[in-house]
Amino acid sequence: MAVRDLLKMGDPRLLRLARPVERFDTPELHGLVADLLDTMHANDGAGLAAPQIGVDLRVVVFQVENNPRYPDAEPVPLTVLINPELTALDPALEEGWEGCLSVPGLRGLVPRHRALRYRGRDAFGAPIDRTVGGFHARVVQHETDHLLGILYPMRMRDMSRFGFVDALPVA
Ligand code: NI
């Protein structure tokens, strides 16, 4: 498959509400997933959403394992998640540092739910139903936000905690 060009913040295509996938286990859907995985891995991303490569569908992928961009994050299994539905299990929000391949070179402190349940399907249409916390929950919230046209700076409460990776003292 292929490493695709990434859209960057400012591109209006990142602000759209993505459309649900209606047909599973098709060559088109498997091709999209392969491109998302190739593009995520080529850029050391923890996750990637279809809108970030200009595809207006509710498809995200994520995986965290020995990632040089997130050296301290706990591992998150490789997941292809389509038409995700999230339910927060803890109303409390926890601040944590995030980056985004569509916001290159920057990091910000973002409030997210500590724990959540997520449901959806994989590319074959098999159901996924998981209850997660920590960085896994953070990644799912970040990627699902892309399907709603929301980039992480739009979730931030304190813009003094937004900056370039090589300048921030703690990120
Ligand atoms: Ni992102």
Give, in degrees to the nearest 5, the angle at Cα 21 between 15 and 110: 40
Superfamily (CATH) of domain 12-164: Peptide deformylase (3.90.45.10)
pLDDT (mean) for 139-155: 98
Q: Which residues are catalytic?
A: 143
Are 151 and 103 in contact by the 8 Å Cβ rule? The answer is: yes
Q: Please choose, from the candidates 66, 69, 32, 64, the residue with its C-alpha nearest in 3D space to the C-alpha of residue 47.
A: 64
Report CA(25)–ligand 1 centroid distance (Å). 25
Does position 64 have pLDDT exceeding 80, yes or no? Answer: yes
Does position 150 have pLDDT exceeding 80, yes or no? Answer: yes
Question: Domain boundaries in the chain?
Answer: 12-164
What pLDDT sits at residue 171? 60
Report CA(146)–ligand 1 centroid distance (Å). 7
Report CA(56)–ligand 1 centroid distance (Å). 15
High-pLDDT (> 90) share of the chain, %: 89
